[in-house]
A = this chain, B = another copy of it.
């Protein structure tokens, strides 16, 4: 039994109180997106307001400040020291923005999200433009309040991917972009293309659920500490450290949505389920960054479940559950079809090769906006031009272009790079694994326990005890390197497309 000082105990109790409000909010979010009857929504948002405000007050309270000042660098307990650092950072971040300004931002953001809906429906960017302009101004001001060393955009990036800077991204992204663009061109020119039509047979929801549940179980997802439910926009959520839920969406015309979506969210959930119990009820009991989180979902979704080895093991199971129409589909045709590469206008429909190119576009534009190098009004044209340059296709409407994502309308700038970072991290982790284990045989044998344990030991258990780039270095022995993603994609798709 750990011995704590009076001050440490006070601090842990404060964290427990915060964590209680956080847990209530998480459950409310889950319910809001899975179960709530529609008339209940309106009042529920007031509850979110009250609890969020309470949480905000706790994190910026004088009591918190006092404990931070007294404990920081004066505790022998490593977890407490790290938690103090997390709390200090949040305290500073929240305190630096004048309360009135933050309220205005929240109100603007909420209005802007509904204007975004309207702008999309009417395919009219000019409706959203004045809101985006104000949101960019707010983000610039916030970045200035928070401070940065070299680039104002770094202050925003820091919120989602602490330690990653514009300098780093500007080293890795262009190389990645050029390699991916080349690869995409080659694939486009390939003669023997897969035919995804053969996947699009009716597949009853219940059957898809049965397969999803089975795969989650095989991945090592603990159903005593989680559950699977249906939703519109799938997500995974940690309600508490022993209650991490997965959601998915069933499209009876295309099973890929649910199957790969469930595995993706399952990857997020495995991360949260396997954080060390020692960190429970502290702010450290959570994935260390958006990018590392995404690396875990993408690892399972792509590196595992879109691999030849995975399906060589699971194709019998799939057929035993799938309707008649799938029984005659040849294994090789199936495998190639679930890995079709096809430049698309829409980011969330993109395959693993083109996905990061969508991110580059957003990164380049938002960085330029925050640094006053471009104006909001020019976004549609710049967007379309970059689509043509990187992906070889050009949107004919803003609805399929600059208006497709909610992030900017929700005031989120600096978030997008995490997605591409997730791809690079995943490939780099995968390469490290390969040095220790014969990954192909393990995947072919469906021996996910070994993989899950490797991820737990090397990544999951640490929660926020390690910052993303430190974690990457500890696990792989080097800093961020986009080559692993390029190599992985080149090898995989050379075979599939006979390049």
List chain A positions with a Cβ less than 8 A from chain B. Answer: 16-17, 20-21, 23-24, 27-28, 31, 35-40, 42-44, 46-47, 49-51, 54, 222-227, 239-243, 280-281
Contacts and interface: CB of A to CB of B under 8 A. Distances in A.
Given A37-B227, A47-B20, A31 B42 contact: no
Contact of A224 (B38, B43, B239, B240): B38
Given A31-B27, A43-B280, A226-B37, A20 B51 contact: yes
B50 A240 contact: no
27 contacts: A16-B46, A16-B50, A17-B50, A20-B47, A20-B49, A23-B47, A24-B24, A24-B47, A24-B51, A27-B31, A31-B31, A35-B227, A36-B243, A37-B223, A37-B224, A37-B227, A37-B243, A39-B222, A39-B224, A39-B242, A40-B225, A40-B240, A43-B240, A43-B241, A43-B281, A44-B243, A47-B240
Contacts of A46: 16, 20, 281
Contacts of A54: 54
A242 B27 contact: no
3 tightest A-B contacts by CB? A40-B243, A20-B50, A39-B242
A480 B303 CA distance: 72
B44 A240 contact: yes
A224 to B, nearest CB: 5
Nearest to A20: B50
A28 B31 CA distance: 10
A226 B42 CA distance: 14
Given A24-B47, A31-B31, 10 more contacts: A17-B50, A20-B47, A24-B28, A27-B27, A27-B31, A37-B243, A40-B240, A40-B242, A43-B280, A43-B281
A42 B281 CA distance: 12
A372 to B, nearest CB: 41
Nearest to A40: B243
A383 to B, nearest CB: 39
A323 to B, nearest CB: 20
B225 A37 contact: yes
Nearest to A48: B20
